[in-house]
Amino acid sequence: MSRGDMSPRKLARYFISYAQVDAPLVDDLIVRISPHLAASKRYEFIKWRNTADLLVGEDWDDAVVAALNTCRLGLLLLSPTFMVRPYILTTELPRLREPDKLALPVLLKPIAFDLQDALGLEKLQIFALTVKHERRAYAELSAGKRDEFAFELYKAIEARLARDF
């Protein structure tokens, strides 16, 4: 229930797909965007992330696949390493690109889309922050601009859900 009008919020389960080497940047982005997601009037965002949601002794592949099957949204945190990780390529991306899912690519680190294989993701609108007429990856930004990135990403997620969820 939302706090103001007490109308029910839609459940929005999301999966965070990223390369483990990028975990410090991912942690930073999640800390900045989480309060916005938590305060949403329309959606109750439920996050699944492999480092936080796996239990000791659990079969990690089964847990990831189960999460991929139940999540409607996939936050694809793009970096050069993301583009070459075998598990992302063979397990996560195919499931997150299914027609009943919303794949939301986010530019975490710069990628040379004209020179590197972007796995077809270049056909999607990739979220980046525009600063002085140039699109910037999260890693390229100062702390203040990272807050702006997180806020604008949150608004972009809400807009996409309002249209397609």
Distance of CA 70 to the CA centre of its chain: 15
Tokens for 107, please give them.
């530019």
Helix (H, G, I), strand (E, B) or coil at 60: helix
Task: Report the pLDDT value the prediction gives residue 5, as an integer from 0 to 100.
Answer: 59
pLDDT interval class at 53 (50, 70, 90): low
Rounded to 5 degrees, what are φ and ψ at 120?
85, -5
Task: Report the pLDDT value the prediction gives residue 80, as an integer from 0 to 100.
Answer: 96
Which of 30-44, 66-80, 111-125, 148-162 has the lowest average pLDDT? 111-125
State the average pLDDT over residues 88-110: 96
Check whether 47 has a pLDDT greater than 80: yes
Is the pTM of the predicted complex or chain greater than 0.75?
Answer: yes
pLDDT interval class at 140 (50, 70, 90): very high
Convert the pLDDT of each residue in 116-137 to its tens digit: 988 889 889 999 999 999 999 9
* Residue ranges per structural domain of the chain: 10-164
State the average pLDDT over residues 29-48: 96
Task: Report the pLDDT value the prediction gives residue 153, as an integer from 0 to 100.
Answer: 98
143-164 vs 23-38: helix crossing angle, rounded to 10:
60
Check whether 54 has a pLDDT greater than 80: no
Task: Report the pLDDT value the prediction gives residue 86, as an integer from 0 to 100.
Answer: 95
Task: Report the pLDDT value the prediction gives residue 1, as an integer from 0 to 100.
Answer: 44
Residue with tokens 């986010």: 106
State the average pLDDT over residues 108-120: 92
Write the secondary structure of 111-139 as one string of H (helix), E (strand) and C (coil).
Answer: CCCCCCCCCCHHHCCCECEEECCEEECHH
Task: Report the pLDDT value the prediction gives residue 3, as an integer from 0 to 100.
Answer: 52
CATH classification (class only), 10-164: alpha beta
